Structure 1
Amino acid sequence: MSLRKSKYLAVVFCLGALSVFSVGSWGQAVPAEHADEARVDRLLKQMTLEEKMDLIRGGLEDPSVYQGQAGYLPGVPRLHVPSLRMADGPPGLLTRVPGQAETATMGVAATFSTKDAEANGVVIGREARSLGIDVVLQPFVNIDRDITFARAYNTFGEDPFLTGVMGAAEIRGAQGQGVMAQTKHYVGYDSNSYNVFIDQQTLHEVYAAPFAEAIKAGTSSVMCSYNRINGPFACGNSDTLKTILKDEMGFKGFVTSDWGGVHSVLFLNEGLDMEMPGAAEADSPFKAFINNYFVTAPPEPPSNKPVDMDELTGILGGPIPEEPQGAGMDMGAFPRDNDKTTMREALKNGTVTEATITAAARRVLYEIDRFGYLDGKQKHGVTPQAIEENAAVIRKTAEDAAVLLKNEHALPLKNDDLQSLALIGPGALQIAAIGTFGERSPGLTDRQIGPLDALKKGAPSANISFAVDDDMTGVPVPASAFSHDGTPGLLRTESSARETVDAQLDFTHSNGKSLPADGTVTWKGTLTVPSEGEYWLYLQALGARGRLLIDGKRIGQTGAAKGTVHGDIQYATQDNGFPTVDGLDNVRRAVRLTAGPHSITVMASGDTSKAPEQIRLNWMTPEQRESNHKAAIDAAKKAHTAVVFVWTRGKPDFALPGEQDRLVDEVAAVNPNTIVVMNVSQPVAMPWLGKVKGVVQMWWTGDEGGWATADVLLGKVNPAGRLPFTWAKQLTDYAANDPAHPERSAKGVDGKTTYSEGVDVGYRWFDKEKIEPLFPFGFGLSYTTFEYSDLKVAKASDHGLDVSVRVKNTGSVAGDEVPQVYLDAPAKQLQGVQFAPKTLAAFDRVTLAAGESKDVKMHVSPRALEYWSVAEKKWVRSDARRVRVGSSSRDLKLTAEK
């Protein structure tokens, strides 16, 4: 480890420790373990029924102070019970004010460092305080069981133990800032299926297990999921909510529905405590899409605004040319069951009682008191973010997350490489900061220095060339292509009915022509293309929402829409993953056009940011795309070393989007020293793996990822991240995608998805079936080497195990190693009980100087030595287990019997 690095780590962890273990940056103490229950009961006795209802149902915040957050709880002003603001993640916060982009959740998992996870929680809590938020809707502790699940990228990987401890660490960090964490999504939300069946042993040991860790960490609340679980919906499931969560796990906080996850007033009787989002603005796309049950007033008339599925889908970013049609979440499959019950009727006929409402409100009030919010220890004012302190954590996390997958003496870059180095791909010029937009911080684009510039600053004497290949910004459509009524230019019509003509559609800060805020403008005319082909049209905007129509057909629109509880303003990272190089949102669509004229309409209207409107129509013609590709291959051919940056946003499944495989193949064919940098959050096929010299997985890095990537390539940081999932050779190797078991797939059989692999999820399945992965769970190389010895296992005072192993850095440079402890299945199999061949039970991350040795001590908890007995309905201690220790699930160097 370099001196710069060691000082850097010391500063980061000093900052984290100050805020976590004493008080937060705004003087917020760590929340109390228990609330003042007598005080809670006194307040409840003073409340009317409606006031109690305002503690268990979402409402509308005053528009003058609303921050575009996901949810708002009105509270009880008369009794000084404050309102609560809830904001989406992970990671980070999504509100009207741009928040810093943290490393993706899967990247945090790849650090295999609870210190990094806790530091990220601190950043999340600090951001929440800065942005006036009380409840952060994270961590996301579902299991990466099925990599085709549209939201699997947002998990901590495939292992319940890793997920649980990393999620718990984030909770401690966030709640240490005086902010509530809401752990989601409970439970079985690990598939695109909304009808899931899981046996009780697997449910307890795999899918509910991370929530148990969250409860031990003191999480304020839990969000129930959209899916059915063993029949009933998760938000109305007495078995999972009452029996498992509240009774068995002892959860004292409140259960909030996922937004639109309520399908009956009677869910309140089954363990649900709060409905979100509750009320919706009349012009919100959600108004006609989501029912609102916890309402005691007479029902409102039905919304006459039709559901616009394109608008709803666009919230999470629409399709782009490199991705297959239909990529992304299918909003049409979302459960919209409605049993037509109303709270008003239920209270009259006694199917819901005021006592049940009081019990639910009590759980919410309990947490409000525990966090000190009854005593004014919350903050709704928006104040400057701790940019530099947060950035240090984000950069360190991106560095610690880097997984070196292959290295044939290619990395770190040497002097010969740097004297003739070609960087190829849009991810070299810009940062793949967030991957896919959705429930997360959008990032600060002015901080996003790409790897190209970071490398130039880190190695100022280097000779570095760049070729974009896939140009995601494009060029303005030329004036010669536009006309209206037989004359040049597009006809612009403003809301005042004023008409003018514009030669091009290019109004940005970059060219000094941005438009006034809050305007509504339409451009109409004719787009004439020179030849038939697939044209990529880029509608680019900021401070405005935009829509593009060709020949009367809607081609694309920006994702932000008022009332969608996703920030409400247009973000530069919303619709493409990469913004334009000058920081605009980028709606990119592929359109096949015949030669000649086509009608075109572009509409722009101000978002609620009050910022000047920027709007531009760029394109890439077929000829321009092919020319850029040839330039990339030529740059690689001329260079000593080529580094190709590849990316995904999650689709297609198990493949890089677009022509990136072709790009790597062709670069490797002309340059024997080819290195690949991957900005992906799930495994993908790597048909070119044998043709390249090095591969480093950088995940979606967050705002500071350009610096982190450059430091890893230059060897200023020694990569030590580990894979939090199994990287298969083919998609069908995964249990959820095995064609021999269609019941496990998202489609399921007869509409039911059954997790019939049981506890054998992830690497456990590969072990059981003896499938050789491309890269195993827990895998990661280093610029140095390590040796393991002297394994010791002893019974611990808590009836778990204490494991000690000596690890030595046998190489010539400092680096981190991640020893991992696995338990074999008991030798004696029990009837009706399933054991995985081996399971992760402990790990640590240790820094070692060249030649240094350390005894690494790890603790195996008693729960890791138990199984859930379906027959006895309790946890039962298993027989003796063999303990294995090594550097991945398939490289276990030492064993001991215990």
Structure 2
Amino acid sequence: MKPAAALLCLAVLALAVGASSVDTHHRQLDQRAALERSAPFYPSPWMNPDADGWKEAYAEAKKFVSQMTLLEKVNLTTGIGWASEQCVGNVGAIPRLGLRSLCMQDAPVGVRGTDFNSVFPSGQTAAATFDRTLIYRRGFAMGKEAKGKGVNVLLGPVAGPLGRMPAAGRNWEGFSPDPVLTGVGMAESIKGIQDAGVIACAKHFIANEQEHFRTPGDPVKEALSSNIDDKTMHELYLWPFADAVRAGVGSVMCSYQQVNNSYACQNSKILNNLLKDELGFQGFVMSDWSAQHTGVASAVAGLDMTMPGDTEFNTGISFWGTNLTLGVLNGTVPAYRIDDMAMRIMAAFFKVSKSIELDPINFSFWTSDTYGPLHWEAKKDYQQINYHVDVRADHGNLIREIAAKGTVLLKNTGSLPLKKPKFVAVIGEDAGPNPNGPNSCGDRGCNSGTLGVGWGSGTANYPYLVTPDAALQAQAVQDGSRYESILSNYATSQTQALVSQANVTAIVFANANSGEAYITVDGNMGDRKNLTLWNNGDALIKHVAAHCANTIVVIHSVGPVLLTDWHANPNITAILWAGLPGQESGNSITDVLYGKVNPAGRSPFTWGATRESYGPDIMYTPNNGADAPQQDFTEGVFIDYRHFDRTPATSPDNKVLYPFGHGLSYTSFSYRNLRITKSHPSTYTPTTGQTAKAPTFGAFSPNPKDYLFPSDQFPYLRHFIYPYLNSSDPRTASLDPHYGQSAAQFLPPHATDDSSQPLLRASGGRSPGGNRGLYDVLWDVTAEVTNTGKIIGEEVPQLYLSLPGEGQPKVVLRGFEKVRIDPGQTVEFRVRVTRRDVSEWDVGVQDWVVREGVKRVWVGRSSRELELEGVLP
């Protein structure tokens, strides 16, 4: 067996307590210093056997883990190495107890790297529906497809990036820069995925807001540090993860970058304190792929599973595996911690699965060939590895519905909906196919043809891709319309000749793409270089509008683009944002353009006039020499509409073209009769008391000879990561010259403490998601919404609050509902306002507090179209 070369006694995170947060002025003066370090928090909290929603899973996990040996526990927590088996990530099997290797697989839009699967609309597009039911159904369908392929952990949904900067490459994988909308997206997706029998993995925890410098490497020696103050962390970035934990998520993936100069996957403050203690997370923390930087230090800081297991791809060298076995044997990793790791993994497993008898993994991520090596990296065990199982069911219809209902009608002067137009001219390469096929670019790493999804690990292979050109032509043929298309952005003279003709309705398609940093497309290293349309899109739109008085623009994009130069052109009669619609793209946009679906999408972000208008931006150039770039989140909670609302009205950067939550319909709605009813909940009670002592399950032999590689039982596979030792001498097995040091010599105080611990006042005790009192309903707010038009429509009334005190946003979203209303009908819109909704994080007392003062409530159709106003009594 090749020894694991990672040192056991590795340097732990830089740990120093930040500046005092009692005096606001003093905190502001010392903000830079406060952001430079992440405060230590130990020991790592252990599971609560009485946690709401986890009792049965805990009991089953306890039965299982109590039977496991130390080697089996290490096998369960350590990935077996990049490409060592069929999935993008696997942990070791427990054959003695009948558990096959657990399979971890992307993606936020579908099962990555397989065939006969669906490609769903992006999370951002799903968020634009503002429809909880559709988001749940999307999650459930994705979970069913994953389960059908043999996947056990689906690596999504995404709340990191939240969307601090509109140019960030992976914003489209998530939902919205608003934490409430993202929180709903997370919770409903998780419920759907896990109801389908697959563990959901909420990622990337936390503040993973850009692709540049997310990992160490030229030109920086250490990854970027996202430096966030305590108040901003709680009120913005942690908010949707609290919703994920409250929804019962089984897994959370820690991110690549540093948080306050401590790598996220070994950051005890965010993993032990915020996630496991304060939020009461009962599942397991998984590293992003090669985001682990230490061995023992990451274990005591709260990491439960390392992916893919090796320190660098295809090395067979691991921080855990052999080294984790040694760490437990010599006491640097306490016995309770390895037990808690295994318990958390198996509890998440039993939360979604009633049996350890799992369906086989029926695909290989590493090849589409039917036959090949089961152990891809080692090129061993040739057999059938792809069974080409079709898991799509009728999900195409759901995808078509979500993409249509997630399409946002930004502008319409009366040209839509189309009704058997005489002559339709479709312009732009975004309307057509990639000439080399929709899957011709690995992980969709190009921008050719219509844009259905961004690029990177968040993608999936298309089973087909319906282009707008194909769908619109089919509709035109059905209507008897004349139809022509020019699927180029550069055919200037031909385009002018076509759109200048009489009776023409010109529909221009343009896009803007982005993705993950390991792929660069047209100079965009994951993050977008700018917010303009790609491939001459803006010039194409202006060219068509200059020659056609009825120009309709459709945008497929990963977020907002700049419309300033042309959105007000009177020849542009309609603008639609169709997001990233997935495989049914053409059918969905045709449904909206022709009125088969009355548009009800609402923008999940703000459309600003300039790039500068958004405030914080991507750091493209390191600001700290070759050391870790320092990205200070000094804007606090003021991102997207909160930032625009704070900017002085006289500033040119204040101009909002289309606000957050905006979207038009083919009918009209009116709002009236706002009513506020006060509830009478119990008084908020901070959590008190102590946890139980850390439990341990099963004894293990202290003799290293009992952990030697069993070469008489099976052969060693190249680069496969095992829990075994290659020598009975621990120092030799570890390759660590410092082997034998006690934990006290290199770990922070209390890192190995297994005694009962005080409960945080903000924690929920046994209530995942935080103190139970946060979710008490304080007010019922209702309003009446009437369809004043002539056709059935869906409206999205939105409730915003204005909270008292300095430093508060003008308004914050706190509730919404998608309602279907017949012509002339009036329906009641209702939001239950909770204590959490009106609270702010007090950095001094370390808890949520309701500040005295006037709290205003607003109801309307967007963040800047608020028809009704009231005061919460």
2:671 corresponds to 1:788: yes
Q: Is the 8 A contact 1:182 1:221 kept in 2?
A: yes
Of 784, 789, 796, the match for 1:818: 796
SS of the aligned residue for 1:761 comes to coil
1:643: Cα distance to partner?
Answer: 0.6
Aligned counterparts of 1:175 and 1:43: Cα–Cα separation in 2 = 21
SS of the aligned residue for 2:209 comes to coil
SS of the aligned residue for 1:696 comes to strand
2:79 corresponds to 1:58: yes
Q: Which amino acid aligns with 1:768?
A: R
Question: What does the per-residue CA deviation read over 1:838-877, in whole Å, with 9 as the maximum and x for residues that have no partner?
Answer: 1100000111122211111122222111111100011112
Q: Which amino acid aligns with 2:867?
A: K
Q: Which amino acid aligns with 2:674?
A: L
Q: Which amino acid aligns with 1:633?
A: Q
Report the counterpart of residue 886 of structure 1 in structure 2: 860
1:361: Cα distance to partner?
Answer: 1.5
Aligned counterparts of 1:347 and 1:226: Cα–Cα separation in 2 = 26
Residues 621-632 of structure 1: matches in 2 within 5 Å? 628-632=491-495
By relative contact order (CA 8 Å, sep 6+), the higher-ranking structure is 2
Higher strand share: 1
Aligned counterparts of 1:351 and 1:259: Cα–Cα separation in 2 = 24
Aligned counterparts of 2:477 and 2:191: Cα–Cα separation in 1 = 38
Q: Which amino acid aligns with 2:788?
A: T
Q: Is the 8 A contact 2:452 2:585 kept in 1?
A: no
Q: Is the 8 A contact 1:422 1:466 kept in 2?
A: yes
Aligned counterparts of 2:786 and 2:57: Cα–Cα separation in 1 = 51
2:246 corresponds to 1:212: no
Report the counterpart of residue 299 of structure 1 in structure 2: none
Query: How many residues get paired?
Result: 648
- Identical aligned residues as a percent: 33
Q: Is the 8 A contact 2:600 2:794 kept in 1?
A: yes
Report the counterpart of residue 95 of structure 1 in structure 2: 113
Aligned counterparts of 1:448 and 1:274: Cα–Cα separation in 2 = 39
Q: Is the 8 A contact 2:606 2:641 kept in 1?
A: yes
Of 572, 575, 584, the match for 1:695: 575
Shift of the 178–850 alpha-carbon distance from structure 1 to 2, 3 Å rule, reads same
Q: Is the 8 A contact 1:59 1:72 kept in 2?
A: yes
Moved over 6 A (4+): none
Aligned counterparts of 1:62 and 1:229: Cα–Cα separation in 2 = 29
Report the counterpart of residue 638 of structure 2 in structure 1: 760
2:368 corresponds to 1:390: no
Report which stretch shifted further, 678-687 or 651-660: 651-660
SS of the aligned residue for 2:90 comes to strand
Shift of the 152–291 alpha-carbon distance from structure 1 to 2, 3 Å rule, reads farther
2:784 corresponds to 1:806: yes
Residues 675-694 of structure 1: matches in 2 within 5 Å? 675-686=552-563, 687-691=565-569, 692-694=572-574
Q: Is the 8 A contact 1:186 1:224 kept in 2?
A: yes
1:179: Cα distance to partner?
Answer: 0.8
SS of the aligned residue for 1:654 comes to coil
Q: Is the 8 A contact 2:416 2:574 kept in 1?
A: yes
Question: What does the per-residue CA deviation read over 1:323-351, in whole Å, with 9 as the maximum and x for residues that have no partner?
Answer: xxxxxxxxxxxxxxxxxxx5466456643
Q: Is the 8 A contact 1:223 1:257 kept in 2?
A: yes
SS of the aligned residue for 1:40 comes to helix
Q: Which amino acid aligns with 2:198?
A: V
Q: Is the 8 A contact 2:107 2:460 kept in 1?
A: no
Report the counterpart of residue 466 of structure 1 in structure 2: 484
- What's the TM-score once normalised by structure 1's chain length? 0.69
- What's the TM-score once normalised by structure 2's chain length? 0.71
Report the counterpart of residue 643 of structure 1 in structure 2: 507
Report the counterpart of residue 583 of structure 1 in structure 2: none
Shift of the 371–799 alpha-carbon distance from structure 1 to 2, 3 Å rule, reads closer
CA RMSD of superposed structures (Å):
2.4
Q: Which amino acid aligns with 1:775?
A: Y
Of 421, 424, 433, the match for 1:421: 424
Shift of the 822–36 alpha-carbon distance from structure 1 to 2, 3 Å rule, reads closer
Shift of the 147–77 alpha-carbon distance from structure 1 to 2, 3 Å rule, reads same
SS of the aligned residue for 1:670 comes to coil
Shift of the 749–758 alpha-carbon distance from structure 1 to 2, 3 Å rule, reads farther
Report which stretch shifted further, 345-354 or 652-661: 345-354
Aligned counterparts of 1:748 and 1:695: Cα–Cα separation in 2 = 39
1:469: Cα distance to partner?
Answer: 4.3
Shift of the 722–38 alpha-carbon distance from structure 1 to 2, 3 Å rule, reads closer
1:467: Cα distance to partner?
Answer: 3.2
1:458: Cα distance to partner?
Answer: 6.5
Shift of the 42–690 alpha-carbon distance from structure 1 to 2, 3 Å rule, reads closer
Q: Which amino acid aligns with 1:769?
A: T
1:786: Cα distance to partner?
Answer: 0.8
Q: Is the 8 A contact 1:82 1:373 kept in 2?
A: no
Aligned counterparts of 2:174 and 2:66: Cα–Cα separation in 1 = 41
Of 339, 345, 353, the match for 1:358: 339
Aligned counterparts of 1:36 and 1:666: Cα–Cα separation in 2 = 61
Aligned counterparts of 1:725 and 1:207: Cα–Cα separation in 2 = 16
Aligned counterparts of 1:125 and 1:884: Cα–Cα separation in 2 = 37
Question: What does the per-residue CA deviation read over 1:673-724, in whole Å, with 9 as the maximum and x for residues that have no partner?
Answer: 1110111121111222122111011111111121111111111111111111
Question: What does the per-residue CA deviation read over 1:243-264, in whole Å, with 9 as the maximum and x for residues that have no partner?
Answer: 1111111111000001111000
Shift of the 821–747 alpha-carbon distance from structure 1 to 2, 3 Å rule, reads farther
Aligned counterparts of 1:375 and 1:348: Cα–Cα separation in 2 = 28
SS of the aligned residue for 2:840 comes to strand
Shift of the 748–822 alpha-carbon distance from structure 1 to 2, 3 Å rule, reads farther
Shift of the 130–690 alpha-carbon distance from structure 1 to 2, 3 Å rule, reads same
2:848 corresponds to 1:875: yes
Q: Which amino acid aligns with 1:422?
A: A
Aligned counterparts of 1:202 and 1:423: Cα–Cα separation in 2 = 46
Aligned counterparts of 1:81 and 1:886: Cα–Cα separation in 2 = 52
1:160: Cα distance to partner?
Answer: 0.4
Shift of the 356–77 alpha-carbon distance from structure 1 to 2, 3 Å rule, reads same
Q: Is the 8 A contact 1:680 1:700 kept in 2?
A: yes
Q: Which amino acid aligns with 1:663?
A: L
Aligned counterparts of 2:593 and 2:828: Cα–Cα separation in 1 = 30
Residues 443-458 of structure 1: matches in 2 within 5 Å? 443-446=461-464, 448-457=466-475
Q: Is the 8 A contact 1:451 1:710 kept in 2?
A: no
Aligned counterparts of 1:49 and 1:343: Cα–Cα separation in 2 = 10
Report the counterpart of residue 446 of structure 2 in structure 1: none
SS of the aligned residue for 2:495 comes to helix
Residues 652-671 of structure 1: matches in 2 within 5 Å? 652-671=529-548
Q: Is the 8 A contact 1:99 1:441 kept in 2?
A: no
Aligned counterparts of 2:409 and 2:75: Cα–Cα separation in 1 = 51
Q: Is the 8 A contact 1:882 1:896 kept in 2?
A: yes
Question: What does the per-residue CA deviation read over 1:75-96, in whole Å, with 9 as the maximum and x for residues that have no partner?
Answer: 3111223321111011111033
Report which stretch shifted further, 422-431 or 362-371: 422-431
Aligned counterparts of 1:261 and 1:802: Cα–Cα separation in 2 = 44
Shift of the 435–383 alpha-carbon distance from structure 1 to 2, 3 Å rule, reads closer
Of 706, 720, 735, the match for 2:615: 735
Aligned counterparts of 2:58 and 2:582: Cα–Cα separation in 1 = 41
SS of the aligned residue for 2:600 comes to coil
Report the counterpart of residue 29 of structure 2 in structure 1: none
Shift of the 62–204 alpha-carbon distance from structure 1 to 2, 3 Å rule, reads closer
1:199: Cα distance to partner?
Answer: 0.5
Aligned counterparts of 1:358 and 1:147: Cα–Cα separation in 2 = 42
Of 274, 283, 287, the match for 2:305: 274
Report the counterpart of residue 172 of structure 1 in structure 2: 191
Q: Which amino acid aligns with 1:420?
A: F
Report the counterpart of residue 866 of structure 1 in structure 2: 839
Residues 285-434 of structure 1: matches in 2 within 5 Å? 286-287=313-314, 292-296=318-322, 342-343=323-324, 346-347=327-328, 350-372=331-353, 374-376=355-357, 380-381=361-362, 384-415=389-420, 418-430=421-433, 432=450, 434=452
5+ long unaligned stretches in structure 1? 1-30, 297-341, 472-625
Aligned counterparts of 1:421 and 1:841: Cα–Cα separation in 2 = 42
Report the counterpart of residue 145 of structure 1 in structure 2: 164
